[in-house]
Every structure is written in C-alpha cells, then in structure tokens.
Amino acid sequence: MLREVTAVRYVNPLRSGGSVPGVVEADDLGTYVVKFTGSAQGRKALVAEVIVGELARALGLRFPELVLVHFDPALAAHEPHQEVRDLLDASHGVNLGMDLLPGAEDFTPRVAESFAVDPLEAGRIVWLDALTVNVDRTVHSSNLMVWPTSGTVPPRLWLIDHGAALVFHHRWDASTPERAYDFRHHALGHYAPDTRAADAELAPRVTEELLRAIVAEVPDAWLAGEEGFATPDAVREAYVRYLHARVKASAAWLPTGFPTREERAAEEARRAEKTRQGRPSWLKQVPDLHGEPAAEQDWSVHLG
C-alpha cells in the first residue's frame, strides 16, 4: 500500500502544469511534489496518477515513489496568490505526493538531442502509454525527467505526470479496449521504439492479479460517487476489466511506424507554413508559436 505522511511545511506552488501542484515537506523528512484534490483536473487525475505510476513501477520503469499526503491548508496561509489559496483550501485531507527528484531536468527537445535512449526502453514507455491511453507525453510536453544530472551515476529517464491518462474513465461507455490512438508524436518516437518487443515482454506481466493489487491502492474517497457504480470496489473492478481487456487486445492498438526526427521536423515545418499561408497578410511574418516546442523549464529553480 502507498505510505501515508503528513505535510509539515508548504514550500511553494509549481506553475509549470495546469494542476498547480506544490512542493511540500512531510513528517518523514521527505520532500514531495503534491497534486491536490481541489485542482481543476479533479480526483480522477489522482486516480490515473496512482494506477499508471504504480503499473510503471511494477513493470520495471523508473517512476518516483508515490505517497498519500495528509494536508492542512493552514500550512499555506502565507501563500500570496488567491487562486492557489482557493485550491489549497479545497484540498484539506488526503492528497497525492510524488517524491521530488532534486535537480532533475525536463526531457526537452534540446536535452533529447544529446540523450541516448535504447529502442527497447523507448518501446516499453510507449507501450505503457498506449496501454493506459496516455496521449500527454509528446515532443512538446514530454512528462519525462532526466535524473540525476550530476555525480558519478549516469542520468536516466524518469516518468512523471500521468493525470491525463486513462481517458476512458471520463466516459466509461464511449471507449472500447481495442481502440488505437495516434502516438506518432510521442516524445520518444524518433528513438525507433521497439514496441513489439516491449509487448512480448510486458503484456504477460499485466495480469488481473497485478491490476487488482494496484487499484486497491487508490483511496475509497477518490472513487466514491462515480456515476454508474454502487461502490468504490465496483469502480476498481471496472479498471481491472478494462485494462486487462486492453492488454489482451494489444495487436489492435500497438503503436508502430514512428517518424524519424527529420521527418517530424519536415512535417512541423509544412504545418507551420500552411498555418502562415492561411493568415491575413499582416500576420504572415508572425512566428507560429504553436508549432514551436514549449518553453523549457529549469526544474532546478523549482526543485532546489
């Protein structure tokens, strides 16, 4: 089960994501990035974080430890921004913390240019994202970290931020386990991810027993009241059935045929040019900001 800790100090909010997580120190002397139940994404984002993150860990992928964080909004009485205080005031009780990786660096396009990723490792990550319908790990927002960035230990990729995964749980009756999604612009697509080898290795390990053990870690309070389900355990069983059926249908959704770095750059250039040609003449000289990579974040500022 996930460990439970109590927040003893609220350090600062992180504004790099829409959920506005916060850095919190806890009574176990750990420091965590906490996602709050009062955020705009709601509790389903926390459910997705637990299920996908713990599944990643069970499959041998690097993912920071998750903990349940008991949080008292009084700790953040010094927070000067009203919208952040409103979020924290709505998050009294149990929230979700992820172990902070001090000095970690975002896996941006600049970092990716000099970072080697084995095709099988890339394939495992893409496979997990395809299984859990995590379409939010793209070249523009990788939700990957490189850590450590100093010392004698070589830097490794770490997965973070799965709140946008499991899109089927927003409309249980509108998605089938066999559905394929477009992963051509996955953050690791140009590393020639070997998804077939990953499927052969990982699919047999995603058993109903493993899935039940993982969903059991989601607090009842985050599942209670789900429309169409009588109890939290009924919701848990729905996750197990859906994900296990999706594993068995991997031949239908397995991503392949990723563009190379050069092909992807050419495609983005064509799209940007098409966008510019459709603008009024006075706008044609304005850069297409939507076609450029998201601004790179220096996590050392946030993570100390």
Nearest Cα neighbor of 205 from 48, 55, 51 is 55
92, part of any domain? yes
pLDDT for position 280: 73
Question: Which positions of the chain have pLDDT values less than 50?
Answer: 289-304
164, part of any domain? no
Identify whether the C-beta of residue 16 lies closer than 8 Å to the C-beta of residue 70: no
pLDDT for position 265: 77
289, part of any domain? no
Range of the domain at 57: 3-100
pLDDT for position 269: 81
175, part of any domain? no
Distance CA 129, CA 126 (A): 5
Distance CA 86, CA 69 (A): 18
Give the Cβ contact number of residue 68 at 10 Å.
20
13, part of any domain? yes
Q: With H, G, I as helix, E, B as strand and everything else as coil, classify residue 221.
A: helix
Question: What are the CB-based long-range contacts (under 8 Å, 24+) for 81-89?
Answer: 81/13, 83/20, 84/13, 84/20, 84/22, 86/38, 87/20, 87/36, 87/38, 87/39, 88/10, 88/22, 88/36, 88/38, 89/38
Alpha-carbon torsion, ordered 203, 42, 97, 164, to 10 deg: 40
pLDDT for position 17: 67
pLDDT for position 300: 38
Q: With H, G, I as helix, E, B as strand and everything else as coil, classify residue 90.
A: coil
Residue written as token pair 């059935």:
241
pLDDT for position 170: 95
pLDDT for position 286: 53
Asked, as a colleague might, if the bond just before 148 is cis with ω within 30 of 0, I would say yes
257, part of any domain? no
Number of domains in the chain: 1
Distance CA 234, CA 217 (A): 14
Q: Which two tokens stand for residue 165?
A: 């995964």
32, part of any domain? yes
Tens digits of residue pLDDT in 247-293:
999 999 999 989 887 887 787 788 778 877 777 766 665 555 444 44
Q: How far is CA 33 from CA 67, 147, 296, in A?
A: 10, 16, 19
80, part of any domain? yes
pLDDT for position 260: 80
> Concatenated DSSP letters for 17-52?
STT--EEEEETTS-EEEEE-TTSTT-HHHHHHHHHH
